[in-house]
Chains A and B, each alone.
Chain A
Amino acid sequence: MDRSYLSHAGVIAASREFVCIRPLTYESAIEAPFLESLFRGRSGNLENTVFAMLGPDAKTRLCRTGRSPGFAFRSPDQMAAAMKQILRKFPSTKTAPRPLPLLPNVRLGLNVSSCDNTPLAIIYSPDQAVRTKLQQQLATLAWDKNHIGQIQFCVATRAEELKSLAGKTQKPGILIVQPGTYGNNGQLVSAVDPDTTPAELGDAIDFALLVSEFQQKTMRQHIVRGQQLGVNWKTAIPVTDSGGSRRRRPRN
């Protein structure tokens, strides 16, 4: 996928008025049929990536769907202009609070935050009421202009879910973690207790953003080194995009 589209300033600015969804391909048997209904490759199977812009009903297609934004737009500028035009058709009338965007679990949270080079905030408590309160606190922070898109979030209810983390992670609260290079582990950077104040929570998040260090990854080096280290990510459903693998297979 040409990521220049999704890092384009105009596209990012317009995205603030869209609901942006990035499903994790091959990680949900429930989501796969919907993605396949939007786009299938020449093989007839679900490909690694799917791109679409849809109406709020999730049925109306607002542009050509495909494997990437490049299927619909010649350039990031054209995509940004099209998004602005779409927004004119959907004037903002309803004001509903935006919930905290949550990754499905800690395992995927670590992996996705590693892919994005962002910290991961884990809401950890066996108590549903505590988790709900912490999620609401984090939601306010997640959508403010200083933090939007800068950190990933997920929930843990049991200590076993935190076994891939280094550092003291036994106490409930919000644990902010720097993911490892391959997203299969993480290092605790800061944490707050369940009775934290919004100001303390903000300080802990900002601290993690300041001290987390991420290396720029290059595809080939990352894959070769990962193979040497024995990294082997298991997907929830079979990967069916063999064409993409053939095209990008690294030389060993």
Chain B
Amino acid sequence: MIRRIVPLLLPLVMTLAAPPADAAERIAWYSTLKQGLAVAKATGRPILLVSAAPHCHGISGIW
């Protein structure tokens, strides 16, 4: 059962249903080599790898 964190808003918002239409398409990433490489091996699919640090000058929240 959904815990209604915002009980008054939820029914209203859910009438809109589905993700927002303007949600930009994004690449779906595995975040660990262990998981990603295992999937590549199991599926025989090529790998797109881009490593990145989730901080800049010690400030988190930005690539």
Contact = CB atoms under 8 A, between A and B. Distances in A.
Contacts of B28: 15, 20, 101, 142-143, 148-149
A83 B60 contact: no
Interface string B8-52: 011001101111100111111111110111011111111111111
Nearest to B56: A223
Contacts of A249: 57
Interface of B: 1-3, 5-6, 9-10, 13-14, 16-20, 23-33, 35-37, 39-63
Interface string A78-109: 00000100110110111110110111100010
Nearest to A197: B1
A172 to B, nearest CB: 11
B61 to A, nearest CB: 4
Contact of A56 (B2, B44, B57, B58): B44
A108 B36 contact: no
A31 B18 contact: no
Interface in A1-48: 1, 3, 6-7, 9, 11-12, 15, 17-28, 30-31, 34-35, 38, 48
A74 interface: no
A34 B56 CA distance: 22
B53 to A, nearest CB: 4
Contact of B61 (A52, A55, A217): A217
A189 B49 CA distance: 31
Given A48-B53, A49-B53, A149-B28, A227 B59 contact: yes
Contacts of B33: 21, 23, 28, 30-31, 34
B12 to A, nearest CB: 10
Contacts of B14: 203, 206-207
Contacts of A232: 58-59
A55 B53 CA distance: 24
A24 B25 contact: no
A161 B25 CA distance: 30
Contacts of A93: 44
Given A19-B30, A19-B47, A54-B49, A102 B35 contact: yes
29 contacts: A19-B30, A19-B36, A21-B32, A21-B33, A22-B52, A23-B51, A24-B53, A48-B53, A50-B50, A52-B49, A54-B49, A96-B39, A98-B39, A102-B32, A103-B31, A142-B28, A150-B26, A168-B5, A182-B59, A183-B54, A189-B6, A190-B3, A192-B2, A192-B3, A207-B13, A210-B20, A223-B62, A231-B61, A250-B57
